[in-house]
A and B are shown apart, each in its own frame.
Chain A
Amino acid sequence: MIDKTTLWIVIVGLGIGTYLIRLSFLGLIGGRELPEWVLRHLRYTAVAVMPGLIAPLIMWPSATGGHTDPARLVAAVAAFAIGMWRKSVVGAVLGGMITLYAVQYLLT
């Protein structure tokens, strides 16, 4: 369970913080240009955070007590392959979940 105080701090903090990021240059800093090296790093923020966030969830899922689960590994690979190939978020989610159920069924 998520603690309610933590949750509200995060909701409000993330809301304000995200807004300030959006407003940053457009609203406050104005015409100043970002140096090229900063832009070059910002381009990769999303791909730098998100894969790392999920890697442990896939390797050591809490639902299986932290033990690596072949069904979840295969499902993750399937979702990634479909996502890269079809460029489709829905396709990847459905493909991944269906693979998970299929492998769970085959292994039990």
Chain B
Amino acid sequence: MTSNTLKSVFWSGFRDGSPFILVAVPFALLFGVISIDAGLDLVETMTMSALVVAGAAQFTAISLMLDHAPTFIVLLTALAVNLRLAMYSAALVPHLGKTPFWLRALMAYFMVDQAFAVAFKKFEEQPAMSQAHKIAYYFGCLTPIVPLWYVFSYVGAVAGQKIPAELSLDFAIPICFIALTAPMMRSLPHFVAALVSVAATLALIWVPYNLGLIIAAILAMIAGAQVELWLKRRAAHD
């Protein structure tokens, strides 16, 4: 295998990942703006974006901290949002599990939703790809996305310092979450899980330490899984 073909595989990953720039850039901008609005400074905002590299969890953490939730609950809830990454991690094992540890450690740091989705789809379609090609493709997918995450978190944070308070930006956090969640309603189980999540959180709002949210999330996951099973059983009957 020549380095030339490795390079072309990298660039084909880069091309396939590029459309998601349109998702990463505005999301990073919004995080920067909201983070500054919540009282974080530039260093804190950038440290968070660089260490966590997971927008939804970062929004969750900031929102709960503004709500003065206990530190433990903030961590637990934000990490729960990121549990989906464990699923990605497991899904990549059959394809990348035999690479040297330092590479796997590096690939883990850069594991973001869009790059994972693109790379995993490719690996499933072309299981015969060599290990080296899979690695090159994976890094290709994330190269147009992750660096822009840092850059536009910074741009958003700098811009956020100049946005006046009269713009009702308090509501930007819920709106961002809605914007993120709405496109996730891909199937009936997703929709039911979201509904249960909303209904149960509102019903359990009296539970102390924001624990109602955790209970609601567990109920919602069970609801989603059960609806999925039910749909499968129904399809099997037809």
Contacts and interface: CB of A to CB of B under 8 A. Distances in A.
A107 interface: no
Nearest to A89: B179
B84 A61 contact: no
Given A62-B170, A89-B23, A101-B168, A96 B175 contact: yes
Contacts of A106: none
B36 to A, nearest CB: 12
A40 B198 CA distance: 20
B225 interface: yes
A56 to B, nearest CB: 6
A57 B80 CA distance: 19
Nearest to B215: A52
Contacts of A19: 51, 108-109
A15 B109 CA distance: 10
A2 B58 CA distance: 14
B170 A14 contact: no
Nearest to B70: A6
A40 B175 CA distance: 28
Nearest to B29: A90
B168 A63 contact: yes
A6 to B, nearest CB: 5
Given A61-B170, A61-B171, A46 B179 contact: no
Contact of B216 (A37, A44, A52, A59): A52
A50 B56 contact: yes
Given A18-B79, A26-B96, A101-B168, A49 B26 contact: no
A15 B201 CA distance: 26
Contacts of A79: 175, 178-179, 182
B84 to A, nearest CB: 5
Contact of B175 (A1, A42, A92): A92
A26 B138 CA distance: 14
Interface string A1-43: 1110011111111111111011111110111011001011111
A45 B82 CA distance: 8
Would you list the 5 A-B pairs with minimal beta carbon distance, nearest first? A83-B182, A15-B51, A44-B224, A92-B179, A48-B220
Interface of A: 1-3, 6-19, 21-27, 29-31, 33-34, 37, 39-59, 61-63, 72, 75-76, 79-84, 87-93, 96-97, 100-101, 104
Given A10-B71, A15-B48, 20 more contacts: A6-B71, A11-B44, A11-B47, A18-B52, A18-B82, A25-B89, A26-B93, A37-B225, A40-B229, A47-B184, A47-B190, A48-B197, A48-B219, A48-B220, A52-B197, A53-B63, A53-B77, A75-B175, A79-B175, A87-B183
